[in-house]
Structure 1
Amino acid sequence: MKKWVLIILTLICSGHIFGQSKSEWLYNADKYYLSEDYASALKYYSKILNDSVIMSLPVLPYESQVTSQKLKNKKIQIDSTKSVSVFEWVHHQIGMCYYYTRDYSHAEAHFVETADSSAFLSDRYYYAVALMNNDKHELALPIFESIAKSKDYNLALRYRCKSHIKGCYYKINDKFETKAIVELADTSVFNKGSASFAPMWWGSEEKIIFTSAREGGVILDPLKQNSEFLCDLYWSERIDSTTWGVAHNFGRPLNSARHDASGSSNGNNIIFYTRWSDEDNRNKQIHLARGIGLKFFESYKLDSAVNLPGYKSINPHVSSDGKTLFYSSDRPGGLGGMDIWMVRIDESGNPTSRPKNLGAPINSKNDEVTPFFHEPSSTLFFASDGHESIGGLDIFKSHYDRAIDYYAEPQNLGEPINSSQDDAYLIFDALLKKGFFASDREPCENGHCYNIYEITNEPIKIMIEGIVFDAMTDDVIPNTTITFKDVRYSKEPFEVMTDEEGYYSTELQQNDEWFMKATKPSYFADASNVDTRKITETTWLMQDFYLTNIPTGEIEIPGIEYDFDSDKLRDTSMAILDELVEFLELNDNLVVELNSHTDARGNDKYNLDLSDRRAKSCVDYLISKGISKSRLIPKGYGESQPAYLKDENGDPVIGADGKKIFLTEEYINSINGNNKQNSLHQKNRRTTFKVVGEDFKLESL
């Protein structure tokens, strides 16, 4: 507190010109600035700035302890060992007030006065940021480049400059331009009053919650409060594909005489939202309110898993299954500034786990806010002033891979969705065709105000292509049929053919999942799946197929075993036959003969009967699994067709006469050791199949 006294004494002793009222204005302005009440701070700073007589008087910056603690969080560099004029100090403070309220046009006008000050190194950076956000990227770029190369600035600031440099280049070279259509939302519904923002679906895409500061809001004291500058939650219901109904204020007690904003529902008539007051702007916390129909009860603050005392928690968003709450906070454990966090919640909306920071690459050293998780595409949309922003907050997307719990590198959605101003609060419908977001791109009387915009996404084109090969020779196979079947049976199947080079291509739609099968006469089929539900941009997919020639002879089904003198399938045999079921389902045009063989022990007639029964047991099992009886022919060969000896690679062992070695009774008896003989007898007790037809059609029966 001694340094505060020193500041006031210095100002007073600097001359009688700087009167008591000026000292009080400066003291109050700095006090409000520290409490983040920037609107009140601006009022007092402006009073001082209007008196040009005092501009040359020196004033010391805040004491180093307060300055370091405060500015460390906000990444500001000020040389607290140098005296600066009141003119520079007040311009700097006003610039920072406008910067933190994202009013960059006014911020630029003040930072230009201090950008070259040796006491305010960081103001050069903030001046460049203001230029960039005012769509003056060509002017901002050389400043960012000079700061990034200078060792006079700390690493954090230089890091941010490198990110801004990329954003400026992308903007100047139109690398971020898309074909999306952006239009101001209906002014009679959404955009009234001083600000409208934070659109969010409410239970379905037919209802929407949004935030607005307009006439008719909830206030307690009409003489002291103006609802046009107080945020309330509103809702609207869709009338038709292009029209929304009148905006309804949720009323008390959901809305209060404070700011109530950024609402999200868990689908069970529970709404999460952010509440704060102008008197305590730092204390922004997430509340939960339960309701019945359109009537809500008094809300309460969520516990420390969401609202940690002394830190901000804002922008709640509930996943579509109602089990995860995403939100933004500057609580400890983040990467810097506001970060996106998540916590598990129960059906009542209460947190059931410790909060988890989404970490890199989602969060950065800058601010990440307004999360929206798009379930059909498994994509997180959010706003950030990092990640190569082209100015202010930009909207980014990142695909989430559930299998490995990993978010992909964020991608900037580009213009016209993003602008050089702040763009945030994006939501999309299930097919990523229509959505809403908020932006302050249009000038307004108060310098910085959000409007809600409708977005029609650019047409997303999904192409799939590939080549069909012979699995043994790698030669291409022309004139192959590729069949697409909808796994949800909601769309008709269709076919495409490969050309003479074995190549095929076709266009697919979003939000589909297809079973693909490649077929050609004399070949076994090959199959795959393609899922377009998570695709959020124009994409080319590649899927090749490898077909194997159907052999003319038998194909052994390894692992089909029976006990001695029995036709009963062992459990392991059933598991192998389950794989044959899958094979026959894939190759549903084939008619096969199931062949069973015995060893040579026992008389011929008995062995033939036993093999017939074994073949039939396999056929019966396949029929029980849904394979048509008309496709299966059981055939027993007894001991008449012994197997041949194979090496460890499955290739036939060739004898001295250059021929295969068949496991005849004579050969087996020539082998020493009962165990080895029994093992060879077991190889003869086998089941095989061979294709005897390729034209089976279930519907023809």
Structure 2
Amino acid sequence: MYRYLLILVALFVAAGCTYTAKITDGATAVDRKQYDVAVPMLQREFKRAKSRGEQGRIAMNLAVSYRETGHDEEAAEWFQTAYDNGIGPDALRERAAALKRLERYEDAIQTYTDLGFEIGSRYEFRKDIAGAELAIRLKAEREAQETPEYEVNPVAFNSPAADYAAVSLDDRLVFTSDRSSATGDDTYNWTGRSFSDLFEASDASAAAATPFHPGTNSEYNEGTPAFSPDGGTMYFTRCAPPAKRSDAYCGIYRSERVGDGWGPAEKLSFVTPEANYMHPAVSADGERLIFSANLNEGWGGYDLYEVTRQPDGNWSAPDLMNRAINTESNEQFPTLDGDTLYFSSDGLEGLGGLDIFRTWPLEDGRWVAPRNLKVPVNSGADDFAYTIVRRNGTGVGSTTTGFFSSSRPGGAGSDDIYAYTKTVLPPPPPSPDPVVFRNVLDVTVVEKIFEDPGNPRSRVLGLRPVPNATVIASIGDQSRTVTTNEEGQLSLVLTDNQAYNFRAERPDYLSDEGRFSSRNLPRDPEAPEQRYELELEIEKIFRNEEIVLENIYYDYDESFIREDAQPTLNELTQTLERNPGIRIELGSHTDCRGRDAYNETLSQARAQAAVDYLIAKGISADRLTARGYGESQPIAECICERCTEAQHQLNRRTTFRILE
């Protein structure tokens, strides 16, 4: 899918251009995100596998590869094979998601239900089941309509590659594609296709498309164009490696029209390193941009932000749009039609994957509760990039035409572009009941379900609610303490324009904190009650049990804390701040290569560097102990000379354990 292509282009740069490295087995190809390369290798390896466990591991990798290359039918079958060969609930979870994308909703509901019984909690899958039930209802409603609201058809220029995000420019269509005629000679081994470029076609009936202006396309990923009202400025996404060899990120670029072509692209001023900015949408006056980004201050995943042009021509700092629109999951692909905002979300109630929603501002700065565009615009797959091109008439019976993109089955390839015609239907009769507006927040305290309940290093199967936990809810200087019910939940009727802070506690657990803003939540007469969710995840304290800190890596023969390790240590800092009564040991382990004494010295220096980092963040040294274990406690079972690089990496770990 397009969003994954843009987000993870960084992996190729960080791994030293691994897309050109030689791959000799399917597992390595999957690890390096070369899914198209992995499929034939894994098929051969599965036939040669000699044990049930080996077949399960290969089947899981094969299913993931099919999923990531857009083949959900095959993915669903191979996830089932992986589950049948002992991989466990993760395979069943992925099978259920694939069934939902294929719109086999009854099968998906049954699989999610079975999965809930297996892991001991249905909580994890409540939204998935609700979305599938919604899809069944909406499909039935459409079949009962005498006059369908939407007619949907694929455009003629779709290809076996990914085609998406069509917009109108000078009576032409400009869109994004990774078809073989894209710029550059390299193959994106994630998909087996080219990197994405901008293309154009004359209209929806055109059988062929040609590359957009060559000065805009590069050897990297370009996509999701948006044009100023006069057509003189183009904003688009580009994912290109930075000047120094480090992770690449996607940014929003601008190009000005020059004669019949386009000038050099420049990155917009508000785009910062180490975050992805994408999918720009331009307001009718050209003075405002809405875009998607995964910034630290967001609510989770990708959120929608807004910037406005300042008198000096620069853009304002990004302003996070409110919780009526953004969720803890992903909001992407915004487009604007006047003051109506269309966007895609997999966090709002939908049919599966990304669904398209619309909303518009009210007079007091609030937004209408987002409306799902329903079937047939939305499906079980990813649906996104909704645009309006032309209106024909006004009032009941008038029509609107435009485009959206979808990865639904039955298309020409991966993502496809669909043309739609929408007919304005008579409105439903107004309700005689008075409107009472309520915004309700459901706060749920949850904990991880471990495969081995006594081992925090065992596989996490899901989350379950924690009953009788204490939640301290604060608004400014006021706070109150509430106990969760048997479902681990409490519900609050929200006061407008308040910042809420929550702290969840329970004896023998690490506490957690969360926040919620009721700023400009909707007051929508058609949906007067809105419910929101917030999860607080408390972790059971396993005294003196090693817990691995993910993503803590060191340069060869060095002990300093790298920049990419800092986010994990920052999270540990927050945990220690929330739980001032605990004392921990930070441990560092090496692999088996090198002399024992050297490894002990190096690991001690690395552990001390992590401790020093936490002290610099304000954690008392009395609460921290550094210990280097060298190679004395490997967790990968292999003979040193025969360990794979992945097993060596597993042994090279930084850990913490709660001492008291």
Length-normalised TM-score, structure 1: 0.49
In structure 2, distance between residues paired with 1:143 and 1:227: 31
1:525-554 CA distance string (max 9 Å, x none): xxxxxxxxxxxxxx9xxxxxxxxxxxxxxx
1:319 paired to 2:283: yes
Give the aligned residue type for 1:135: E
Give the aligned residue type for 2:419: E
- The equivalent residue for 1:94 is 62
- The equivalent residue for 2:161 is 194
Alignment of 1:287-436 (within 5 A): 287-303=253-269, 305-309=270-274, 311-346=275-310, 350-353=314-317, 355-375=318-338, 378-401=339-362, 403-429=363-389, 431=391, 433-436=400-403
Partner-residue secondary structure (3-state), 2:280: strand
Partner-residue secondary structure (3-state), 1:457: strand
Give the aligned residue type for 1:301: K
Partner-residue secondary structure (3-state), 1:404: coil
User: In the alignment, which of 241, 249, 257 is matched to residue 219 of structure 2?
Assistant: 257
1:55 paired to 2:49: yes
Partner-residue secondary structure (3-state), 2:327: coil
User: In the alignment, which of 60, 75, 96 is matched to residue 128 of structure 1?
Assistant: 96
Partner-residue secondary structure (3-state), 2:112: helix
Deviation of 1:193 after TM superposition, in Å, equals 6.0
Give the aligned residue type for 1:383: S
Give the aligned residue type for 2:348: H
Aligned CA distance change for structure 1 residues 323 and 26 (closer, same or farther; 3 Å): same
Structure 2 contact 39–65 (Cα < 8 Å) conserved? no
1:465-522 CA distance string (max 9 Å, x none): 999xxxxxxxxxxxxxxxxxxxxxxxxxxxxxxxxxxxxxxxxxxxxxxxxxxxxxxx
Structure 1 contact 160–386 (Cα < 8 Å) conserved? no
Deviation of 1:244 after TM superposition, in Å, equals 7.3
Aligned CA distance change for structure 1 residues 441 and 125 (closer, same or farther; 3 Å): same
1:137-170 CA distance string (max 9 Å, x none): 1111122234457764595x33533443443442
Give unmatched runs, 5+ long, in structure 1: 1-21, 59-84, 468-538, 540-701
Alignment of 1:629-668 (within 5 A): none
Decide which structure has the larger Cα Rg and report it: 1
In structure 2, distance between residues paired with 1:102 and 1:334: 29
1:184 paired to 2:153: yes
1:278-331 CA distance string (max 9 Å, x none): 99997333222223233222213334x44541x333222112221222222233
User: In the alignment, which of 449, 452, 458 is matched to residue 423 of structure 2?
Assistant: 458
Aligned CA distance change for structure 1 residues 118 and 90 (closer, same or farther; 3 Å): closer
Give the aligned residue type for 1:452: I
- The equivalent residue for 2:110 is 142
Bigger relative contact order, structure 1 or 2, given CA contacts below 8 A and separation 6+? Answer: 2
Structure 1 contact 317–325 (Cα < 8 Å) conserved? yes
1:44 paired to 2:24: no
Give the aligned residue type for 1:132: K
Q: Name the stretch that deviates more: 93-102 or 421-430.
A: 93-102
In structure 1, distance between residues paired with 2:132 and 2:144: 17
1:14-60 CA distance string (max 9 Å, x none): xxxxxxxx99525633531xxxx3xx1452364144124663458xx
Give the aligned residue type for 1:409: A
Aligned CA distance change for structure 1 residues 27 and 184 (closer, same or farther; 3 Å): closer
Structure 1 contact 276–284 (Cα < 8 Å) conserved? yes
Q: CA RMSD in A?
A: 4.3
Aligned CA distance change for structure 1 residues 161 and 422 (closer, same or farther; 3 Å): closer
- The equivalent residue for 1:275 is 238
Alignment of 1:57-72 (within 5 A): none
In structure 2, distance between residues paired with 1:163 and 1:306: 37
The count of aligned residue pairs is 401
Alignment of 1:475-554 (within 5 A): none
Give unmatched runs, 5+ long, in structure 2: 1-21, 392-398, 433-525, 527-660
In structure 2, distance between residues paired with 1:245 and 1:444: 15
- The equivalent residue for 2:29 is 29
Aligned CA distance change for structure 1 residues 371 and 26 (closer, same or farther; 3 Å): same
Deviation of 1:433 after TM superposition, in Å, equals 1.1
Percent identical: 21
Aligned CA distance change for structure 1 residues 104 and 227 (closer, same or farther; 3 Å): closer
Aligned CA distance change for structure 1 residues 186 and 103 (closer, same or farther; 3 Å): closer
In structure 1, distance between residues paired with 2:186 and 2:259: 28
Partner-residue secondary structure (3-state), 1:252: coil
Aligned CA distance change for structure 1 residues 463 and 168 (closer, same or farther; 3 Å): closer
In structure 2, distance between residues paired with 1:49 and 1:243: 39
Give the aligned residue type for 1:96: V
Give the aligned residue type for 1:87: Q
Aligned CA distance change for structure 1 residues 213 and 348 (closer, same or farther; 3 Å): farther
In structure 2, distance between residues paired with 1:350 and 1:208: 29
- The equivalent residue for 2:492 is none
Structure 1 contact 209–264 (Cα < 8 Å) conserved? no
In structure 1, distance between residues paired with 2:379 and 2:430: 36
In structure 2, distance between residues paired with 1:441 and 1:215: 22
In structure 2, distance between residues paired with 1:449 and 1:46: 19
Partner-residue secondary structure (3-state), 2:77: helix
In structure 1, distance between residues paired with 2:403 and 2:286: 21
Deviation of 1:274 after TM superposition, in Å, equals 1.7
1:323-368 CA distance string (max 9 Å, x none): 2222222332333333222222458985322x23324232333332
Aligned CA distance change for structure 1 residues 132 and 253 (closer, same or farther; 3 Å): same
Structure 1 contact 217–227 (Cα < 8 Å) conserved? no
Aligned CA distance change for structure 1 residues 27 and 438 (closer, same or farther; 3 Å): closer
Structure 1 contact 301–307 (Cα < 8 Å) conserved? no
Length-normalised TM-score, structure 2: 0.52
Aligned CA distance change for structure 1 residues 352 and 153 (closer, same or farther; 3 Å): same
- The equivalent residue for 1:69 is none
Structure 1 contact 176–412 (Cα < 8 Å) conserved? no
1:411-464 CA distance string (max 9 Å, x none): 22122222333321111146471111122335467xx52222211102333699
Give the aligned residue type for 1:158: F
Give the aligned residue type for 2:408: R
Deviation of 1:111 after TM superposition, in Å, equals 1.0
- The equivalent residue for 1:107 is 75
